[in-house]
Amino acid sequence: MNDLAAFLSTGGIFELSVRLVLGAIASFVAIASWSKTRHAYWFFVIAGILCSYAGTLYRSLRAFGLFSGREILIFDAPLGVLLSDNLSILCFIVAGVFYIRANR
């Protein structure tokens, strides 16, 4: 609970709120454009946006203590944090590769 109090006192709540609102808008636009997607690289861009927002939701739920219990650690780094931070980047990398291959 001390972590939450420190988080709230440092302006983290404003940062998290802005990130949640902007991520929700980006996710809405991504989902709305999903049906108009014709290329694989756009699919991965949309997946990257959604993964980024899911990571923000995961971090906010962890900050407020809604996910409690032990975390799975990989080299002393929590698996949830590793996935939430890096899965969207991986989707953007794959999107770039598909874009380069499609526009040769």
Mean pLDDT, rounded, for 27-49 = 92
What pLDDT does 4 receive? 61
3-state SS assignment for residue 8:
helix
Using only C-alpha atoms, what is the Rg of the chain? Answer: 16
- Total count of domains within the chain: 1
* Contact criterion met (CB below 8 Å) for 90 and 52: no
- Domain range for 57 is 2-102
Question: Could you tell me which of 46, 59, 48 has the C-alpha nearest to residue 19?
Answer: 59
Q: Is the pLDDT of residue 1 over 50?
A: no
CA distance 82 to 12: 20
Tell me: pLDDT of 11 over 90.
no
Locate tokens 């598909």: which residue? 98
